[in-house]
Amino acid sequence: MTIRVTPSEGLAELSLVENRGANSTRYDWAMIALGIWLMVGGYSDGWAHNHLPVDNFFTPWHAAFYSGFLAAMIFLVGTFIRNRRRGYPTQLAMPAGYELSLLGVAIIFFGGIGDMIWHMLFGIELNIDGALSPTHIAITIGLALVVSGPFRAAWQRTNATSTPTLVQLLPMLLSLTFILSTITIITQIFHPFVFISAAAKTGSNPGLGIASILLQTGILMGLVRWLKPSVRRPHELRLFAFTVPVVLYLLYFLCLEITMGISWSIHLWLGSTVVAGIIGVLLSILLVPPQIPDEQPEKLTIE
Protein backbone atom coordinates (compact mmCIF):
# COMPACT_ATOMS: atom_id res chain seq x y z
CA MET A 1 0.00 0.00 0.00
CA THR A 2 1.35 3.41 -0.97
CA ILE A 3 0.64 6.46 1.20
CA ARG A 4 0.63 9.75 -0.63
CA VAL A 5 1.16 13.02 1.21
CA THR A 6 -0.10 16.18 -0.42
CA PRO A 7 2.02 19.35 -0.26
CA SER A 8 -0.45 20.96 2.13
CA GLU A 9 -0.22 17.98 4.47
CA GLY A 10 3.56 18.12 4.30
CA LEU A 11 3.57 21.80 5.22
CA ALA A 12 1.17 21.11 8.08
CA GLU A 13 3.42 18.37 9.38
CA LEU A 14 6.48 20.64 9.10
CA SER A 15 4.62 23.36 10.99
CA LEU A 16 3.71 20.85 13.66
CA VAL A 17 7.36 19.87 14.11
CA GLU A 18 8.59 23.46 14.23
CA ASN A 19 5.94 24.68 16.65
CA ARG A 20 5.49 21.71 18.93
CA GLY A 21 4.05 22.87 22.21
CA ALA A 22 5.54 25.77 24.12
CA ASN A 23 8.76 25.73 22.11
CA SER A 24 9.99 29.09 23.39
CA THR A 25 12.37 30.74 25.81
CA ARG A 26 9.45 31.32 28.18
CA TYR A 27 9.25 27.57 28.61
CA ASP A 28 13.01 27.53 29.19
CA TRP A 29 12.71 30.14 31.93
CA ALA A 30 9.97 28.13 33.62
CA MET A 31 12.29 25.12 33.66
CA ILE A 32 15.12 27.27 35.01
CA ALA A 33 12.91 28.30 37.94
CA LEU A 34 12.11 24.65 38.62
CA GLY A 35 15.80 23.82 38.23
CA ILE A 36 16.71 26.33 40.93
CA TRP A 37 14.16 24.68 43.22
CA LEU A 38 15.64 21.25 42.50
CA MET A 39 19.23 22.44 42.96
CA VAL A 40 18.50 24.13 46.30
CA GLY A 41 16.62 21.06 47.50
CA GLY A 42 19.31 18.66 46.29
CA TYR A 43 22.18 20.60 47.84
CA SER A 44 20.36 21.09 51.14
CA ASP A 45 19.75 17.34 51.30
CA GLY A 46 23.42 16.69 50.49
CA TRP A 47 24.45 19.10 53.23
CA ALA A 48 22.21 17.29 55.71
CA HIS A 49 23.75 13.92 54.81
CA ASN A 50 27.20 15.39 55.53
CA HIS A 51 26.49 17.41 58.67
CA LEU A 52 23.37 16.15 60.47
CA PRO A 53 22.48 12.84 62.17
CA VAL A 54 19.74 11.95 59.67
CA ASP A 55 17.91 8.82 60.81
CA ASN A 56 14.88 8.47 58.50
CA PHE A 57 13.71 9.14 54.96
CA PHE A 58 11.09 11.76 55.83
CA THR A 59 13.16 14.86 56.52
CA PRO A 60 12.74 18.57 55.69
CA TRP A 61 15.67 18.21 53.29
CA HIS A 62 14.05 15.42 51.33
CA ALA A 63 10.84 17.47 51.34
CA ALA A 64 12.69 20.43 49.82
CA PHE A 65 14.01 18.29 46.98
CA TYR A 66 10.97 16.11 46.30
CA SER A 67 8.58 19.08 46.37
CA GLY A 68 10.67 20.59 43.57
CA PHE A 69 10.61 17.27 41.78
CA LEU A 70 6.82 17.09 42.14
CA ALA A 71 6.48 20.57 40.62
CA ALA A 72 8.79 19.64 37.73
CA MET A 73 6.93 16.38 37.15
CA ILE A 74 3.56 18.13 37.02
CA PHE A 75 4.95 20.74 34.64
CA LEU A 76 6.60 18.28 32.22
CA VAL A 77 3.99 15.55 32.32
CA GLY A 78 1.29 18.21 32.02
CA THR A 79 2.99 19.53 28.88
CA PHE A 80 3.08 16.03 27.40
CA ILE A 81 -0.60 15.36 28.14
CA ARG A 82 -1.74 18.78 26.91
CA ASN A 83 0.11 18.43 23.62
CA ARG A 84 -1.13 14.89 23.06
CA ARG A 85 -4.70 16.17 23.49
CA ARG A 86 -3.96 18.94 20.98
CA GLY A 87 -3.09 16.32 18.38
CA TYR A 88 0.68 16.05 18.60
CA PRO A 89 2.06 12.51 18.11
CA THR A 90 3.87 10.95 21.05
CA GLN A 91 7.34 11.62 19.65
CA LEU A 92 6.52 15.33 19.23
CA ALA A 93 4.49 15.89 22.37
CA MET A 94 7.38 17.54 24.23
CA PRO A 95 9.09 20.78 23.19
CA ALA A 96 12.30 20.14 21.29
CA GLY A 97 15.06 19.29 23.74
CA TYR A 98 12.82 18.29 26.63
CA GLU A 99 12.21 14.66 25.69
CA LEU A 100 15.06 13.50 27.93
CA SER A 101 13.78 15.75 30.73
CA LEU A 102 10.59 13.71 30.74
CA LEU A 103 12.72 10.56 30.96
CA GLY A 104 14.61 12.14 33.85
CA VAL A 105 11.35 12.63 35.73
CA ALA A 106 10.62 8.91 35.40
CA ILE A 107 14.12 8.02 36.63
CA ILE A 108 13.80 10.28 39.69
CA PHE A 109 10.32 8.89 40.43
CA PHE A 110 11.43 5.27 40.55
CA GLY A 111 14.80 6.21 42.03
CA GLY A 112 13.05 8.01 44.89
CA ILE A 113 10.93 4.94 45.65
CA GLY A 114 14.07 2.81 45.51
CA ASP A 115 15.87 5.27 47.79
CA MET A 116 13.18 4.98 50.44
CA ILE A 117 13.38 1.16 50.31
CA TRP A 118 17.17 1.35 50.39
CA HIS A 119 17.07 3.48 53.56
CA MET A 120 14.68 1.02 55.20
CA LEU A 121 16.94 -1.93 54.40
CA PHE A 122 20.41 -0.47 54.92
CA GLY A 123 19.92 2.75 56.88
CA ILE A 124 20.74 6.37 56.02
CA GLU A 125 23.95 7.07 54.12
CA LEU A 126 26.21 9.71 55.65
CA ASN A 127 29.22 11.60 54.28
CA ILE A 128 30.93 9.80 51.37
CA ASP A 129 28.42 6.94 51.47
CA GLY A 130 25.67 9.35 50.49
CA ALA A 131 27.50 10.44 47.33
CA LEU A 132 27.99 6.87 46.11
CA SER A 133 24.68 5.27 47.11
CA PRO A 134 23.25 3.46 44.03
CA THR A 135 19.83 5.06 44.43
CA HIS A 136 21.37 8.51 44.86
CA ILE A 137 23.38 8.00 41.66
CA ALA A 138 20.17 7.08 39.80
CA ILE A 139 18.41 10.18 41.14
CA THR A 140 21.39 12.33 40.15
CA ILE A 141 21.27 10.98 36.58
CA GLY A 142 17.56 11.79 36.41
CA LEU A 143 18.21 15.25 37.84
CA ALA A 144 20.87 15.95 35.19
CA LEU A 145 18.42 14.98 32.44
CA VAL A 146 15.72 17.25 33.85
CA VAL A 147 17.82 20.40 34.37
CA SER A 148 19.65 20.03 31.05
CA GLY A 149 16.41 20.56 29.10
CA PRO A 150 16.89 24.31 28.44
CA PHE A 151 20.42 23.65 27.19
CA ARG A 152 19.27 21.00 24.69
CA ALA A 153 16.33 23.17 23.65
CA ALA A 154 18.64 26.07 22.78
CA TRP A 155 20.52 23.88 20.27
CA GLN A 156 17.48 22.14 18.81
CA ARG A 157 15.28 25.18 18.40
CA THR A 158 14.85 25.63 14.66
CA ASN A 159 12.61 28.69 14.44
CA ALA A 160 15.29 31.24 15.40
CA THR A 161 15.91 33.55 12.47
CA SER A 162 18.14 36.13 14.12
CA THR A 163 21.10 36.23 16.49
CA PRO A 164 19.86 35.30 19.98
CA THR A 165 20.00 37.93 22.70
CA LEU A 166 21.60 37.49 26.11
CA VAL A 167 18.18 36.99 27.66
CA GLN A 168 17.56 34.14 25.22
CA LEU A 169 20.98 32.59 25.86
CA LEU A 170 20.88 32.93 29.64
CA PRO A 171 18.62 29.89 30.25
CA MET A 172 21.09 27.77 28.28
CA LEU A 173 24.02 29.01 30.36
CA LEU A 174 22.13 28.51 33.63
CA SER A 175 21.15 25.02 32.51
CA LEU A 176 24.81 24.22 31.83
CA THR A 177 25.62 25.49 35.33
CA PHE A 178 22.98 23.15 36.75
CA ILE A 179 24.56 20.24 34.88
CA LEU A 180 27.97 21.01 36.39
CA SER A 181 26.40 21.39 39.84
CA THR A 182 24.68 18.02 39.48
CA ILE A 183 27.95 16.32 38.56
CA THR A 184 29.55 18.00 41.57
CA ILE A 185 27.07 16.30 43.91
CA ILE A 186 28.45 12.89 42.97
CA THR A 187 32.09 13.94 42.68
CA GLN A 188 32.14 16.00 45.88
CA ILE A 189 34.45 13.44 47.50
CA PHE A 190 37.08 14.57 44.98
CA HIS A 191 36.42 18.31 45.05
CA PRO A 192 38.87 20.87 46.47
CA PHE A 193 35.97 23.12 47.47
CA VAL A 194 34.56 20.38 49.74
CA PHE A 195 37.65 18.65 51.12
CA ILE A 196 40.15 21.47 51.49
CA SER A 197 43.42 19.57 51.56
CA ALA A 198 45.50 22.73 51.24
CA ALA A 199 44.08 24.46 54.32
CA ALA A 200 46.62 25.39 56.98
CA LYS A 201 44.72 23.94 59.97
CA THR A 202 42.54 21.18 58.57
CA GLY A 203 44.39 20.20 55.41
CA SER A 204 45.83 16.75 54.80
CA ASN A 205 46.83 14.36 52.01
CA PRO A 206 48.11 16.80 49.37
CA GLY A 207 48.12 14.03 46.76
CA LEU A 208 44.34 13.69 47.05
CA GLY A 209 43.97 17.47 46.90
CA ILE A 210 46.00 17.76 43.70
CA ALA A 211 44.09 14.86 42.13
CA SER A 212 40.83 16.63 43.04
CA ILE A 213 41.94 19.82 41.29
CA LEU A 214 42.88 17.95 38.13
CA LEU A 215 39.69 15.86 38.11
CA GLN A 216 37.42 18.87 38.55
CA THR A 217 39.34 20.70 35.83
CA GLY A 218 38.64 17.81 33.46
CA ILE A 219 34.94 17.87 34.29
CA LEU A 220 34.67 21.66 33.97
CA MET A 221 36.53 21.95 30.69
CA GLY A 222 34.93 18.78 29.29
CA LEU A 223 31.61 20.64 29.38
CA VAL A 224 33.05 23.11 26.87
CA ARG A 225 32.45 20.44 24.22
CA TRP A 226 28.71 20.99 24.66
CA LEU A 227 29.17 24.61 23.59
CA LYS A 228 30.29 23.35 20.16
CA PRO A 229 33.44 25.46 19.85
CA SER A 230 34.53 26.33 16.33
CA VAL A 231 37.65 24.81 14.80
CA ARG A 232 38.17 28.05 12.91
CA ARG A 233 39.62 29.76 16.00
CA PRO A 234 41.71 27.03 17.68
CA HIS A 235 44.22 29.39 19.28
CA GLU A 236 41.49 31.32 21.11
CA LEU A 237 39.99 28.01 22.27
CA ARG A 238 43.34 26.78 23.61
CA LEU A 239 43.88 30.08 25.44
CA PHE A 240 40.38 29.89 26.93
CA ALA A 241 40.93 26.27 28.01
CA PHE A 242 44.17 27.21 29.77
CA THR A 243 43.02 30.49 31.31
CA VAL A 244 39.74 29.37 32.90
CA PRO A 245 41.15 26.69 35.28
CA VAL A 246 44.27 28.75 36.04
CA VAL A 247 42.26 31.82 37.04
CA LEU A 248 39.75 29.68 38.95
CA TYR A 249 42.37 28.01 41.12
CA LEU A 250 44.48 31.12 41.58
CA LEU A 251 41.37 32.75 43.05
CA TYR A 252 40.70 29.58 45.05
CA PHE A 253 44.13 29.65 46.68
CA LEU A 254 43.89 33.42 47.21
CA CYS A 255 40.60 33.01 49.09
CA LEU A 256 42.08 30.11 51.03
CA GLU A 257 45.11 32.15 52.04
CA ILE A 258 42.91 35.04 53.21
CA THR A 259 40.49 32.87 55.22
CA MET A 260 42.33 29.77 56.48
CA GLY A 261 45.90 29.95 55.27
CA ILE A 262 47.65 27.52 52.92
CA SER A 263 49.64 24.57 54.23
CA TRP A 264 51.02 23.61 50.80
CA SER A 265 54.32 24.96 49.55
CA ILE A 266 54.31 27.30 46.54
CA HIS A 267 55.61 24.38 44.49
CA LEU A 268 52.40 22.44 45.17
CA TRP A 269 49.70 25.09 44.91
CA LEU A 270 51.15 27.01 41.98
CA GLY A 271 52.30 23.87 40.19
CA SER A 272 48.88 22.21 40.51
CA THR A 273 47.30 25.38 39.13
CA VAL A 274 49.54 25.34 36.06
CA VAL A 275 48.93 21.62 35.51
CA ALA A 276 45.18 22.30 35.68
CA GLY A 277 45.65 24.76 32.80
CA ILE A 278 47.60 22.16 30.86
CA ILE A 279 44.79 19.64 31.41
CA GLY A 280 42.39 22.20 29.94
CA VAL A 281 44.55 22.66 26.84
CA LEU A 282 44.94 18.90 26.32
CA LEU A 283 41.18 18.42 26.59
CA SER A 284 40.61 21.18 24.06
CA ILE A 285 42.91 19.38 21.63
CA LEU A 286 41.07 16.09 22.25
CA LEU A 287 37.61 17.61 21.86
CA VAL A 288 38.48 19.95 18.98
CA PRO A 289 41.53 18.49 17.22
CA PRO A 290 43.53 20.59 14.76
CA GLN A 291 42.22 20.61 11.22
CA ILE A 292 43.90 18.26 8.76
CA PRO A 293 44.28 19.65 5.23
CA ASP A 294 42.16 17.87 2.65
CA GLU A 295 45.12 17.43 0.32
CA GLN A 296 48.67 16.76 1.32
CA PRO A 297 51.31 18.84 -0.53
CA GLU A 298 53.15 17.01 -3.25
CA LYS A 299 56.53 15.69 -2.28
CA LEU A 300 59.48 17.23 -4.01
CA THR A 301 61.83 14.81 -5.73
CA ILE A 302 65.42 15.64 -6.57
CA GLU A 303 66.94 13.86 -9.50
The ranges assigned to domains in the chain are: 1-186, 194-289
Reported pTM: 0.74
For 51, the 3-state DSSP assignment is: helix
Q: Which residue has the higher pLDDT, 48 or 12?
A: 48
Residues β-bridged to residue 262: 199
Most confident of the ranges 97-101, 128-132, 133-137, 289-293: 97-101
Contact indicator for 277, 242 with CB cutoff of 8 Å: yes
d(CA 97, CA 155): 8
Q: How confident is the model at residue 10 (pLDDT cuts 50, 70, 90)?
A: very low
Q: Which residue has the higher pLDDT, 7 or 36?
A: 36
Query: What is the tens place of the pLDDT at every residue in 133-153?
Result: 888 889 999 999 999 999 988
- The residue-averaged pLDDT of 26-35 equals 93
pLDDT at 273 over 50: yes
> What is the DSSP-derived secondary structure letter of residue 4?
-
- The residue-averaged pLDDT of 29-46 equals 92
State the pLDDT at residue 292.
59
Query: What is the tens place of the pLDDT at every residue in 157-201?
Result: 655 555 667 777 899 889 999 999 998 888 887 888 888 888 877
pLDDT at 8 over 50: no
State percent of the chain over pLDDT 70.
Answer: 79
Q: What is the mean pLDDT of the chain?
A: 81
pLDDT at 287 over 80: no
pLDDT at 57 over 80: no
pLDDT at 6 over 60: no
d(CA 180, CA 217): 11
Of the candidates 159, 146, 153, the residue with the CA atom closest to the CA atom of residue 16: 159
Burial class of residue 181 (count of CB atoms within 10 Å of its CB; 0-12, 13-18, 19+): middle
pLDDT at 91 over 50: yes
DSSP H helices in 157-265: 166-186, 206-222, 234-259
Q: How confident is the model at residue 294 (pLDDT cuts 50, 70, 90)?
A: low
